[in-house]
Amino acid sequence: MRYQPSLFESPPPPTPERVGTLRVAERPRAKVLGRASAEWLGCDYTLNPYVGCGFGCAYCYAAAFVADEERKQEWGRWVDVKVDALRELERTDLRGRRVFIGTATDPYQPVEAKVRLTRRILEHLVEITPQPVVAITTRGPLVTRDLDLLRRFESLRVNMSVTTDSDRIRRDFEPSCASIERRIQTLEELRVAGIRIAVFIAPMLPIEDPIGFAQRLKALEAERYMSQPFHQTDVPFRSNTREGAWEVARRYDWDEEGYRQTAIRMKTVLPQMSVRMRGMA
């Protein structure tokens, strides 16, 4: 057993461990930082504490990057913890750099409640002088657990994914994620606590009432609103929507044109909503 006691609550769990139906294993030496090559990311480093994601969304793009076919099929049922993350961060000069957390997998996915690796990473980042500029993308209400730390950053924004206005539709695509209501509540809690927020409608799922949804989101007074359709490519190892999600989308008659029409309607209320991803800040 090789768990670092500093990363886990004691007593340390066995390896691999199950959290609910999730298989959790450690992945030593896995890189937690990535140099951000894509201009649209608008950051210097991406940072992902986990490989795999217990939310297991039907459309997840990150699954396309899994080489092992069996693991790809089992997406959502396993997660690897990058147990050497802090060691790597200590070796890297992050002073004043722009760090985007959660570009590949969710930093506040269910395992984080137990493992607390994202929290340990934030504890490290907040002590750097000058502090890094941080953005966190998540759909996990667990992010409010770390409000004490989030408040200590001079520049930090939480981007919360809110993908539809219907919990029935949400359950078809994201059965393990928090309800839409819970995510909106989380955004409100963050804003009231003085944390900058953005709403990512990404990928946009079918929306039952585009105008009402846009009004609800507008009331949050987020700094940014961004929407995105499903990705589609035939190129392997590119960000791509999983086949299971297309099947569900077809049941709802949801396609690129549906996205376009819905985005147009939402923009009558939220003209500032961008329709493609651009930058973290």
Cα of 34 vs its chain's centroid, Å: 16
Regarding 79 and contact with ligand SF4 (CB under 6 A), the answer is no
| Residue that has been written with the tokens 């009558």 in this structure | 268
When the beta carbons of 62 and 207 are compared against ligand SF4, the nearer one is 62
- Among 8-16, 53-61, 240-248, 259-267, which window interacts with ligand SF4 (CB under 6 A)? 53-61
When the beta carbons of 97 and 203 are compared against ligand SF4, the nearer one is 203
When the beta carbons of 57 and 126 are compared against ligand SF4, the nearer one is 57
What do you get for the CA distance between the two ends of the chain, in Å?
40
Regarding 106 and contact with ligand SF4 (CB under 6 A), the answer is yes
Instruction: Give φ, ψ of 81 to 5 degrees.
Output: -100, 130
- Site residues for ligand SF4, 209-238, by CB under 6 A, read none
Residue 4: name the closest of 71, 84, 74, 58 by CA.
84
Regarding 169 and contact with ligand SF4 (CB under 6 A), the answer is no
- Among 1-9, 93-101, 105-113, 260-268, which window interacts with ligand SF4 (CB under 6 A)? 105-113
| CA 99 – CA 272 distance, rounded (Å) | 24
Which residue from 3, 8, 45, 55 is in contact with ligand SF4, where contact means CB under 6 A?
55
| CA 72 – CA 11 distance, rounded (Å) | 31
Tell me how many residues contact ligand SF4 (CB under 6 A). Answer: 10
Residue 78: name the closest of 16, 122, 124 by CA.
16
Which residue from 36, 41, 60, 266 is in contact with ligand SF4, where contact means CB under 6 A?
60
| CA 110 – CA 274 distance, rounded (Å) | 29
Regarding 53 and contact with ligand SF4 (CB under 6 A), the answer is yes
Which amino acid would we find at residue 66?
V
- Among 26-34, 54-62, 207-215, 228-236, which window interacts with ligand SF4 (CB under 6 A)? 54-62
Regarding 157 and contact with ligand SF4 (CB under 6 A), the answer is no
DSSP state of 28: T
